[in-house]
Amino acid sequence: MASVYNERQLSDISTKFHIYGEIQHAEACKIGHINETYTATYGQGGNLVRYIHQKINGNVFKRPVQVMENVDRVTRHIRSKLVANGEKNVTRKVLIIVPARDGKCYFKDPEGNFWRTFVFIENIRTYESVNSSMQAFEAGKAFGKFVSHLSDMEGPRLHETIPNFHNVRMRFDGFIKALQKDRFNRATNAAEEIKFFTEHEAIVRKLEKALSSGGLPERITHNDTKFNNVLLDVETDKEQCVVDLDTVMPGNILYDFGDMVRTTTSPTMEDELDLTKVKLRLPLFKALARGYLKSTKDILTKKEKKLIAFSGKMMTFTIGLRFLTDYLSGDTYFRVHRPRHNLDRTRTQIKLIQSIEKQEDKMQAYVDSL
């Protein structure tokens, strides 16, 4: 759980970055599972200006310096592409890092915590779930632009901020180990969920076969393409910026698109308790695919396109597996806000997988037609 907002701590942190003005107010943001995030308001030349202060979760990101090196490189590259393309309002379309007083893109406090600051993007909104086909289209377009902008980024390979983050085989093996240990005696509560995942190991094997046979190039991918990581303009609902870049690293396009399917096509949040509401809405999938393929048409391979529908099932399976593993392991990774929260999340993923399986042929047929 996030620590209680500490006004004195934020006031001290506020002096460590190149911000002109004094902090007036700050409040904790509740969105997100991992990091502690604060919106801070500053008095600056007679105006009020907002910034984002964020403490990186050191339990999740063991190498925060590498995380920030990736974020810095990626945001600089995207910004240069936007400028070169003559885009307007560039500071609304890519995260802008505010450097620390020592020139680094982060600040390390006396307790060893790593902090970073971003320019706050005004007049935007995020949603936990998609409300329209247009929003799904905008989400697909935004994440497609993101991977396309980075397709020509030169220099050394990005750091793997969480090694094997989307290694589905490793996730499955980790689930089996957690099940065998059952340190918190929770397996009995999750018997049906455990049965589902053990009986669907074929999903893992299909991905392994696709990766080993070629045609799925390594790309710089976002790796956490939840819908609430797209900022939409408050008036037009048009995509503005992709955020939450901690997991940007070498990856596979299927991970990104698949997680978009998981987080945009169901009318519910990922921890919905009423499972009768959980389903893949085919019109939203189609809008998502249209937006994504519109932005990636110049870089997508035939094999990547052929596995678009499968990627939704595969990533929902992977994330569900992670929720279940975390539940069995004592809730050490994802933030939980109620008992059995991770188990509730697991059940939602299972229901969505079942809905995808019923529509997978129609989904891929539509993608093939684009």
Q: Do 220 and 118 fall into the same domain?
A: no
Give the span between the Cα atoms of 129 and 267, in whole angstroms. Answer: 6
Mapped to the 3 state alphabet, what secondary structure does 268-308 carry?
CCCCCCCHHHCCCCHHHHHHHHHHHHHHHCCCCCHHHHHCH
**99 lies in the same domain as 203:** no
Domain range for residue 173? Answer: 133-369
Q: Which two tokens stand for residue 333?
A: 């990774």
Length of the chain, please?
370
- Residue 128 inside a domain? The answer is no
Is position 1 within any domain? no
Residues 30 and 116 placed together within one structural domain of the fold: yes
Q: Same domain, yes or no, for 170 and 271?
A: yes
Residue 357 lies in a domain: yes
The total number of structural domains that make up the chain: 2
Same domain, 151 and 21: no
Domain finish residue from 95, 122, 149: 122
Is the pLDDT at 231 greater than 90? The verdict is yes
Residues 176 and 206 in one domain: yes
CATH of the domain at 314: 3.90.1200.10
Of 200, 224, 160, nearest to 314 (Cα)? 200
Burial code (b: 16+ CB inside 10 Å, e: under 16) for 72-99 equals bbbbebbbebbeeeeeeebebbbbbbbe
Residue 325 lies in a domain: yes
Q: Using alpha carbons, list the distances in angstroms from residue 19 to 45, 55, 79, 119, 326.
A: 12, 17, 20, 10, 39
Give the residue with greater pLDDT, 120 vs 10. 120
CB atoms within 10 A of CB 310: 20
| Token output for 275 | 């499972």
219 and 279 together in one domain: yes
- Better-predicted residue by pLDDT, 46 or 146: 146
Q: Indicate if 178 and 314 belong to the same structural domain.
A: yes
Least confident of 155-159, 162-166, 302-306, 358-362: 162-166
* CA angle at 103 for the pair 240 and 245, rounded to the nearest 5°: 30
Task: Check pLDDT > 90 for residue 1.
Answer: no
Asked whether residue 202 is assigned to any structural domain, the reply reads yes
State the burial class of residue 103 (Cβ atoms within 10 Å of its Cβ: 0-12, 13-18, 19+): exposed
Which pLDDT value is given to residue 100?
96
Dihedral sign of CA atoms 324, 330, 335, 339 in order? positive
CA atoms within 13 A on the CB side of 238: 5
Closest by alpha carbon to 12, among 119, 111, 95? 111
How many CA atoms lie less than 13 Å away from 337 in the CB half-sphere?
A: 8
234, 286: one domain: yes
Banded model confidence at residue 32, pLDDT cuts 50, 70, 90: low
Shared domain check, 96 and 193: no
Contacts of 220 (CB under 8 A, 6+ apart): 74, 147, 150, 151, 153, 158, 248, 249, 250, 251
Q: Which residue's entry shows tokens 């596995």?
A: 307
Phi, psi dihedrals of residue 126, rounded to the nearest 5°: -125, 160
End-of-domain residue from the set 78, 103, 122: 122
For the stretch 84-105, pLDDT in tens is 999 999 999 999 999 999 999 9
Name which of 21-30, 251-260, 349-358 the model is least confident about. Answer: 21-30
Q: Does residue 227 sit in the same domain as residue 309?
A: yes
The verdict on residue 309 lying in a domain is yes
Q: pLDDT above 90 covers what percent of the chain?
A: 81
Does 210 have pLDDT greater than 70? yes
Q: Give me the phi and psi of 53, to 5 degrees please.
A: -105, 135
Task: Evaluate whether residue 288 is within a structural domain.
Answer: yes
Instruction: Give CA angle at 72 (15, 128), nearest 5°.
Output: 85
Could you tell me where the DSSP H helices lie in the chain? 7-14, 64-84, 133-149, 168-181, 191-199, 202-212, 253-264, 282-296, 302-306, 308-328, 341-369
State which amino acid sits at residue 227. F
Q: Answer whether residue 341 shows pLDDT above 60.
A: yes
Strand, coil or helix: what is 111?
coil
Q: Collect all residues with Cβ–Cβ distance below 8 Å to 8 and sequence separation of at least 6.
A: none
Q: State the chain's mean pLDDT as an integer.
A: 93
Same structural domain, 69 and 137: no
**Does the pLDDT value for residue 2 go beyond 60?**
no
- Residue ending a domain, among 122, 155, 171, is 122
Percentage of the residues of the chain whose pLDDT score is greater than 70: 97
Average pLDDT over residues 187-209: 96
Q: How confident is the model at residue 30 (pLDDT cuts 50, 70, 90)?
A: low
> Does residue 6 surpass a pLDDT of 70?
no
Q: Which CATH number goes with the domain that contains 85?
A: 3.30.200.20
